[in-house]
Amino acid sequence: MPDHPPQTPAVNVEAVKEVTPELVEAVAALVPQLSSTASAPDGSSLARITEAPGTTLLIGRLDIEAHPVVGMLTLVVYRIPTGTHAVIEDVVVDEAARGAGCGEALVAAALEHARDAGAKNVDLTSRPSREAANRLYVRMGFEERETNVYRYRQL
């Protein structure tokens, strides 16, 4: 009998419509894997995010027995005089689930949402140290822009 490679579970992506204790717990586990300085939002903060016009919080689940949330991404679509723009922020996949296609599924879903909202371009930033994420973005068609990114820190 030939050897068969292990099957990768399918990824289910959904836009968050309701903040549940499971979501709060999952986000609390994911945020520290994204940022060592950010605090995870509580339930009321997550509700404000999911209710904000133009903001879509996407979560990814592996199609396995417990269907836990293993990844998230935030898409922000906004309109300005030069058109409809979209930005992907806070992409993170749980360390234990990386390589199973969740990041790609989340980004693909975000691109579809952005296209449906009329955005011609979608921007994102990623630290150079996130090598796998940067390879994914390039593989999915993102191009590095020649631009300066500035940050003003409010006190």
Domain ranges of the chain: 11-139
Pairing of strands 69-80, 55-62: antiparallel
Structure tokens at 138: 């390039």
Q: How confident is the model at residue 134 (pLDDT cuts 50, 70, 90)?
A: very high
Tokens of 97: 């689930």
> What confidence tens digit (pLDDT) does each residue in 80-128 have?
999 999 999 999 999 999 999 999 999 999 999 999 999 999 999 999 9
Strand bridging mode 122-124 / 69-80: unpaired
How confident is the prediction for the chain on average, in pLDDT? 92
Domain with residues 11-139, CATH architecture: 3-Layer(aba) Sandwich (3.40)
Instruction: Give the gyration radius of the chain's Cα atoms.
Output: 16
Which of 14-28, 57-71, 74-88, 137-151 shows the lowest per-residue confidence on average (mean pLDDT)?
Answer: 57-71
Statement: residue 2 has pLDDT above 60:
no
Contacts of 125 (CB under 8 A, 6+ apart): 149
pTM over the 0.75 mark: yes
Pull the structure tokens for residue 28. 């609390």
